[in-house]
Structure 1
């Protein structure tokens, strides 16, 4: 349960103001079809985050030495800093649904590609390495993405005006920092 809840909380907070959340708002504004957009986000996130968690899990299984655990802890601390950098998304970029593919496929492909190398994907790799439960990490990070993006699709513009994104980014950064420091303290035997 720790892997599920930690993954969900970290990704939900890290996603606030992220470029994929901005993409969700843009898709909702342009296409005005929330159900296929939400389903596209879900499918893209499950696929992307499963692969990311699998990479993290696979690396953790091979590299069990302390230096790797320090690298994972450092990656969480680096994620804290990265979370404080606001993302931007080019709203003028052409984004039209192909007539044959539709809104769902457009969302699926756009979300999958935009999530590549994104901080939530990198966090998912780190979480996959940290926790020995691939399914819980994938479910948790997917839940976190949906918690952040479904309201963005449904209430996009109104939500952007009322939610203090900077405060959410700082909260996410503190969570990443706390997890990284906790791992370092555990490695030093301070909990022991």
Structure 2
């Protein structure tokens, strides 16, 4: 119980104002809140299981720099994906609020990658080295989910009062911000090959995303053109 309460308090406070809260709010703007909270719970349970395993049983740390870079590239993909999905959101009623396996997996994978190497994971590893692993696992998971639930409530409220296009653009901007944040954090003091590989990957992802978005916009514009009448 001591390990549970300690890990809950530490992780809850550490999560306040963290990028994960902003991510949770961003997803809550576009998808059903219960899908987001379930995906966060699944991702958090997995990440903190890894944290407890490394901290309590191995006393080791993870290559956080590389994990942060991978998470940053994933956020870049999600930002482009958000912009790409804009047209479908306008055409299909309530598409953003539909629950499906793809949404759950997308949110879960985003949080899983973002939390690998994050300060909450490092805090969990540290606590697990000297406390009961099960209590740390449960407490840290509940603490993070509780903190992110606050952000989800804010995101759900905003989602009811903002136009869909504003939500899409705002969500994409936030994802690009997460991408820059995570990537920059991972590249501090990194080797030149890692820096070059990261820049190359970012350029390729951005190029492919821009091409797909432009093609989608052209197709949408052509579809909106009036059909000439046949005499």
Same fold (TM > 0.5): yes
TM alignment of 1:38-187, pairs within 5 A: 38-60=37-59, 93-96=79-82, 101-131=101-131, 133-156=132-155
Q: Which has the higher contact order (CA 8 A, sep 6+)?
A: 1
TM-score where L is the length of structure 1: 0.60
Q: Secondary structure at the match of 1:93?
A: helix
Larger CA Rg, structure 1 vs 2: 2
Which structure 1 residue ranges, 5 or more long, are not aligned?
64-88, 160-192
The residue number in structure 1 matching 2:211 is none
After superposition, give the CA deviation of every residue in 1:56-90 in whole Å (9 maximum; x if it has no partner): 00135xx9xxxxxxxxxxxxxxxxxxxxxxxxx98
Which structure 2 residue ranges, 5 or more long, are not aligned?
61-74, 86-98, 159-231
Shift of residue 142, structure 1, vs aligned partner: 0.3
The residue number in structure 2 matching 1:5 is 5
Number of equivalences: 128
Shift of residue 100, structure 1, vs aligned partner: 7.5
Q: Partners in 1 of 2:127 and 2:100 — Cα distance?
A: 37
Q: Secondary structure at the match of 2:80?
A: coil
Q: Partners in 2 of 1:103 and 1:48 — Cα distance?
A: 19
The residue number in structure 1 matching 2:215 is none
- Contact 2:28/2:156 (8 A) holds in 1: no
Shift of residue 151, structure 1, vs aligned partner: 1.7
* Aligned-CA RMSD value: 2.6
Shift of residue 102, structure 1, vs aligned partner: 2.2
The residue number in structure 2 matching 1:27 is 27
TM-score where L is the length of structure 2: 0.50
Shift of residue 12, structure 1, vs aligned partner: 0.3
Q: Partners in 2 of 1:15 and 1:7 — Cα distance?
A: 12
